[in-house]
Structure formats: C-alpha cells, structure tokens
Amino acid sequence: MDLYGALEAGGTKMVLAVMDGSGATVEKTAMPTCTPGETMPGMISFFRKYAIRSLGIGCFGPLDLHPASPAYGSITSTPKLPWRNYPIVSAFRNALQVPVALDTDVNAAALAEASLGAARGLESCLYVTVGTGIGGGLIIHGKPVHGLTHPEIGHIPVLADPADPMPRGVCPYHACCLEGMASGPSIEKRWGIPGKELPPEHPAWELESGYLAQMCASAMLSFSPEKIILGGGVMQQKFLLPMIRRKTAALLGGYIVHPAVENGLADYIVEPGLGTASGITGAWLLARQADPAPSQPQQR
C-alpha cells in the first residue's frame, strides 16, 4: 500500500496525517507550533513510523516557492520569528529522505476544493480563509497560482466603510487592508468582543460582509475564478454568506453576465465542500503529485 505524509502547518498548530493512495487516513495527529527546534523532532518521528513515499506540506507563509531560488522551500518573512527563513522542505527531505512538496496552506486547500470539494470538476477557484488572518489560494487551469511570490489576497487594500468606528485596521503593514479590517482579531479589537459572541443583528456583520464583498468583487474582476469558497472561523457565522453575496452583486453592478453568477451568486460564493479538511487533503494531494512512481492513478 502506498502511503503519503500530509502536513498542514499552521501558526498555532500542526496537523499531521499519514494517508494511503485513496486518501484514507491511517493516522492523524496534531501538535502545537512552538519553535522549529521544539516542533520538528516530534513531526519527523511521527512520519518516520511509516514508509511514506513523499510528503506534502501546506504551510503558513510567506514562502519561497521559486524552484530556482537558493531559499526555495523556506518560510520567509513571517512574523512568527523562530520560523523566519526556516528551510522546512530541506529539513524534512534530509530527515525523511523522500520527495517533499510545499505550497501555501491556502493554495493546498484550494487544490483540494478544486479536486474533491466545492469546485470539483472546475478548472479554477479561489479559496479564502477568514480566521486569525485572511489568506487566499487561487487555482487557475487546475494548478495553484505562483508568480512573483504567491497571491496574498488577505492584504489587498479595501475602502474603509464610512460607518466603521475603526478606520485603521490591525495589520502592522497596512492601514486599511482586508486582513486588517476583516480578520477575527480585527472584529475583536473593533468591538471589544470576539466575533463568536456578537449577535447576527450587530453592526459588525454589515462591515464584515462589506469588506469580504469588496474582495470577492475584486477577485472576480481580476482572476475570474469559476467559484469562490469562503472558509475559516469567522465564516462559521452562517448568515454572513448571503450578506456577502448580496453586497458582491451590488458592487459588480450587473457587469459580469454569466449563468454561474445568476441566482444571487448562491452557487458561486460558497462554503468549503470538504469542511475543515481542505488543508490536510490538499497536503495529501501535493504529496501524491510529488510521488515519482505512484501505483494508483493520480488525480489532477
């Protein structure tokens, strides 16, 4: 049986799984993200218990994903200082002696959603997580998009809502970017209460859905993905999706005419098809793609 290692590397926790070629989980565990010196040995021991053929990692970033770069496979300018410039790919490759594939956590999740989730059968989608931070993964022609670096849709500028009592967001880099204005911590800072405890009629949600709608409209006009998938802790507020759809449609002003965006965007801006499993499933897909000689046919 072919076995693959999958790692969803997050800023607060690491989710590790060993899965077979069909995606069935053999063992799964999680551990807190401490320093590399503290966290790497436990992760290496976990994967060493199995004869994995390759390892796929969906990782918090920013990452150096340029194969020709000397720093390829490193976490670069992260605010999580112990991991800054950490060469996560070579560390695992040296320890496990198997091919290691790396992409952003959100590109991995987007890949999983495009292959097996809400955008299954489509060639493109945008997956955005709205949580402690805001990150987006973009699939075009079936592949995660990399370019100069990789998409950072969480940091696109947004227009401050005139009704916003906090016109400067929480991002240390930008006065008014999406993450600074609409992440979970920004909601908590603005209102002094975590989003989870704010009732549906609270003005917080008009602002929140407005900022996310600005992103959805910009993304549709910029990349034309065939589906936008919104996940993450904040999106557990289920009433947000219809608000975001309505505001996105208003911002588009009827300009984009396509059957897929009819119906008030109800089939277009959607929740993840894989629930909270998009990230680890994407890491497994990356591992399978990195396997030079799989015995079962590859998806995508």
* Nearest residue (beta carbon) to ligand ADP: 184
Quick one: what does residue 173 bind among Zn ion, ligand ADP, none, with the CB cut-off 5 to 8 Å set by partner type? Zn ion
237 near ligand ADP (CB under 6 A)? yes
189 near ligand ADP (CB under 6 A)? no
CA 164 to each of CA 24, 25, 72, 97, 156: distance values in angstroms, whole numbers, following the listed order:
46, 45, 41, 52, 18
239 near Zn ion (CB under 5 A)? no
> Can you tell me which residue has the tokens 């997956």?
127
CA 173 to each of CA 156, 164, 169: distance values in angstroms, whole numbers, following the listed order:
11, 19, 10
Nearest approach in angstroms of CB 181 to Zn ion is 9
Token digits for 79? Answer: 């605010």
184 near ligand ADP (CB under 6 A)? yes
Indicate the angle between helix axes 278-290 and 105-116, nearest 10 degrees: 90
Where helices occur in the chain by DSSP H, the ranges are 36-48, 88-96, 105-116, 178-182, 184-191, 204-223, 240-252, 278-290
CB 5 within 8 A of CB 14: no
Dist CA 20 CA 286 (whole Å): 13
Dist CA 42 CA 164 (whole Å): 45
156 near Zn ion (CB under 5 A)? no
Quick one: what does residue 177 bind among Zn ion, ligand ADP, none, with the CB cut-off 5 to 8 Å set by partner type? Zn ion
Q: Which stretch binds Zn ion (CB under 5 A): 80-88, 113-121, 173-181, 266-274?
A: 173-181
35 near ligand ADP (CB under 6 A)? no
Q: Which stretch binds ligand ADP (CB under 6 A): 72-80, 92-100, 165-173, 189-197?
A: 189-197
79 near Zn ion (CB under 5 A)? no
Token digits for 111? Answer: 């890949």
Token digits for 156? Answer: 């696109």
Please pick, from the candidates 10, 99, 136, 282, the single residue that binds ligand ADP as defined by CB under 6 A.
10
Site string for ligand ADP, 123-162 (x = CB under 6 A): ------x-xx------------------------------
For binding to Zn ion (CB under 5 A), which residues are involved? Answer: 155, 171, 173-174, 177
